[in-house]
Amino acid sequence: MLKKLSQIIAENDLALFSFAALATLLSRIPFISYGYGVDPDAWRVVSVARTLAETGQYVFARIPGNPLHEYGTALVHNFGPMVMNGQTALMSAIAVGSFALVVKRIWGRGYLIASMALAATPVVFINSVSTMDYIWALGFAWLGCYSLLKDKPLVAGILIGLAIGCRITSGALILPFGLLYVRLYGWQTRQLLILGLSTVLTGALCFVPNYQSYGWAFFDFWERGYPAPMTIAKRMTLYIWGRFGVLALGGALVVYLVLRLKGTVIQSRIYNQKQSYAWIWGVGIALYVIAYFRLPHDQAYLIPLVPFVILLLGETMERRVFQTACVMIALSSFLEPCRSGLCAGDIFMDRAQRKAEIEFADKILEFGKALPENSVLVSAWWHPKLSTLAGDSTFTIDGVDFVYVLDSTLLEKYIADSTALYFIPRVIAFNEEYYNLQLKDIVTSVVELDDRNVSW
């Protein structure tokens, strides 16, 4: 039975896509409850989706906006986290299925284990069960890549353009995908022009609502300062691959270097093509690493390079090393080494944190309701969760205002009105840095709402 199934998958692209996509989707279902995700931006998307559905006016969740994802979420804004997160899970299934087809086209084998590694890479798994846009972009992009490898540049360009509509940084993929096409089919000016023009036009059309609402100001970004080197290092390693994944990548690199120093030629690789595409995968990785160092605020920004790393591993490592690395990367989502031996992996930790954060958000709301009238509770990163749970982006309950942060104008207004100002403890320093204000002597720190044990 398994042999027959394997043969069907090997011979039929639709069967391979269906198998990889279904396995991915089923793995996500247990994790799509408990709110919209740990990242506050996921909750902002939900708030924006409600506004889009109710008013028809485009507003973005964060600069520069991800309109296709935001409108897609607006279509199901009344159905709660299971459906909204389920949309993302479905896009992750499309991403993994498409990646399997691309691997099959260029390697001829190794597509199941490579796609398994992509599906279960911790940063991919976690972001595929929340209401975020990264995986939507990944799904459209790799479906576009498969279409390009089938010599359908118009379809590919439209799909990559839709990926841009989900994440504007997806536009960088046109370079490695275009190089891959040239490597397979040679330089074909007409086909490449079709690819480029259809990508640009589709991507531009996606951002028409952004321009109509904000003008060219939508094409901006917000800098929150530059993280410490150790924070950046963790985001680029542990927070993407997990502990087992980092061990796997580090071990594979050591093996590769030892073999190169010994002058040993690697005879057994996972792929069976005569020509290598390793330099193309290197281009894809380099583009996103360079971009990341510009604004290294979230490890999820590096999701687009994960497929390229897996492909590079397969083309540079000995076959058994590659297979072992893929298994360990996938294992990181479910288990990780710890002092007591083995502990729950990243996807289980993410689910536990989501549950704890919803409970804490409910605690904040209850505390706020108990404050005297003419009070303000400033909650920063908790505000998107609070406003979504309360059903209003800027809301007042029993005479108490719940706000994100205070700027100088709002602060002066509240002081003039003799409003009592309450802050979640860590938010004070955040608000001071955000607007260059001095707050410590004029606000009350709500120590019972210390969120250090539950905050993202």
pTM: 0.94
**Among candidates 205, 140, 130, 195, which has minimal Cα distance to 170?**
140
pLDDT at res. 38:
94
* Banded pLDDT at 262 (limits 50, 70, 90): confident
Element spanning 415, H or E: helix 408-416
Task: Give the type of residue at 39.
Answer: D
Alpha carbon distance 379, 386 (integer Å): 9
Q: Is the pLDDT of residue 278 over 80?
A: yes
H-assigned helices in 167-277: 174-185, 189-206, 208-214, 229-236, 238-262
What average pLDDT score do residues 65-73 get? 96
Provide the residue count of the chain: 456
If you compute the radius of gyration of the chain from its CA atoms, what whole number of angstroms results?
24
pLDDT at res. 62:
87
pLDDT at res. 434:
83
pLDDT at res. 216:
86
Q: Is the pLDDT of residue 271 over 90?
A: no
pLDDT at res. 431:
93
Contact 132, 48 (CB under 8 A): no
> How does pLDDT run across 182-226, given as a tens digit for each residue?
999 999 999 999 999 999 999 999 999 999 999 988 877 666 678
**Distances 114 to 16, 175, 209, 238, 298 between C-alpha atoms, Å:** 13, 22, 37, 20, 24
Q: Is the pLDDT of residue 441 over 90?
A: no
Angle at 333 (CA atoms; ends 70, 330), nearest 5 degrees: 105
> How does pLDDT run across 405-431, given as a tens digit for each residue?
999 999 999 999 999 999 999 999 989
What average pLDDT score do residues 87-92 get? 98
Alpha carbon distance 343, 332 (integer Å): 10
Contact 122, 332 (CB under 8 A): yes
Alpha carbon distance 303, 172 (integer Å): 13
Mean pLDDT over all residues of the chain?
92
**Among candidates 33, 248, 251, which has minimal Cα distance to 129?**
33
* Banded pLDDT at 325 (limits 50, 70, 90): very high
Asked if the bond preceding 176 is cis, omega within 30° of 0, the reply is no
* Banded pLDDT at 172 (limits 50, 70, 90): very high
Q: Is the pLDDT of residue 355 over 80?
A: yes
Contact 122, 336 (CB under 8 A): no
DSSP string spanning 292-329?
HHHS---GGGGGGGHHHHHHHHHHHS-HHHHHHHHHHH
* Banded pLDDT at 455 (limits 50, 70, 90): low
Angle between helix axes 346-370 and 383-390 (nearest 10 degrees) is 70
* Banded pLDDT at 392 (limits 50, 70, 90): low
